[in-house]
Amino acid sequence: MSLVGKKAPSFKAGAVLNGNEIGEINMDDFLGKEEILLFFYPKDFTFVCPTEILEFQKKHDEFAKRGVKVIGVSTDTEESHFAWLMTPKNKGGIEGVTYPLVADASKTVSMNYGILGGEYGYDEDDNMSFQGAPIAYRASFFIDKDGVVRHETVNFFPIGRNIDEYLRVIDAWHHNLEHGEVCPAGWNAGDDAMTPSFDGVADYLSKH
């Protein structure tokens, strides 16, 4: 089930902050203050994940300029996050990442967001088992200041994300809030948008 248009599940969890400090993240602390780009990734010390995590870091100032807090989450522990952050990039690490990385070791955050790669059940002997992969998909959620999800994407494990697309989505959301216009296919900041009416659509299409 999609979370778009619904309240994002709140959570409090351990995290590595500022790239070098083990602490805690409470999602409620951001309500009314900042928008959030919350992204889940499968595992520390893997292959596609560091390319995404480091690309989020490269674009970190662009998110901050838009008033958006970037937060990463996986089902690893804080200690695993910390060790990976202390590992140089030329050795497969993510040294230099400064935004929070949340530890969802209990897997409850991933389950509440509906993006855990499997589910718990019982086998024929009534023993609890897990079907699938007990790690998060490559899921991303753009959450507004009221804690409502405005955009989400979910990729299967081998498919990396385009980080620029989240900036485009955020720009479109901000344009709608500021001008009341809706953003057509392929819209980027500075492009023509449309008034949400049949006349508005006709006018836009006649020009494009």
Q: What is the percent of the chain where pLDDT is above 90?
A: 97
Q: How many CA atoms lie within 13 A of 121 on its CB side?
A: 8
In one letter, which amino acid is 48?
V
In whole angstroms, what is the distance from residue 149 CA to residue 39 CA? 12
User: Does pTM top 0.75 for this prediction?
Assistant: yes
Residue 117: closest CA among 156, 77, 159: 156
pLDDT-based confidence at 1, cuts 50/70/90?
A: confident
* Mean pLDDT score, 127-133: 94
Q: Which residue among the candidates 16, 38, 49, 103 is catalytic per the annotation?
A: 49
In whole angstroms, what is the distance from residue 167 CA to residue 172 CA? 9
Q: Produce one character per residue of 88-125: b if its CB has 16 or more CB atoms within 10 Å, e if not.
A: eeeeebbeebebbbbbbbebebbeebebbbeeeeeeee
- Domain spans of the chain? 12-160, 162-208
Give the chain's mean pLDDT. Answer: 97
Q: What's residue 69's pLDDT? A: 98
pLDDT tens track for 2-18:
999 999 999 999 999 99
pLDDT tens track for 44-103:
999 999 999 999 999 999 999 999 999 999 999 999 999 999 999 999 999 999 999 999
Q: Which two tokens stand for residue 65?
A: 């300029």
Residue 186 DSSP class: T
Q: How far is CA 49 from the centre of its chain?
A: 13
> Above 90 in pLDDT, residue 146?
yes
* Catalytic residue status for 49: yes
pLDDT tens track for 160-194:
999 999 999 999 999 999 999 999 999 999 999 99
CATH class in words for 12-160: alpha beta
Q: Which two tokens stand for residue 102?
A: 């949340």
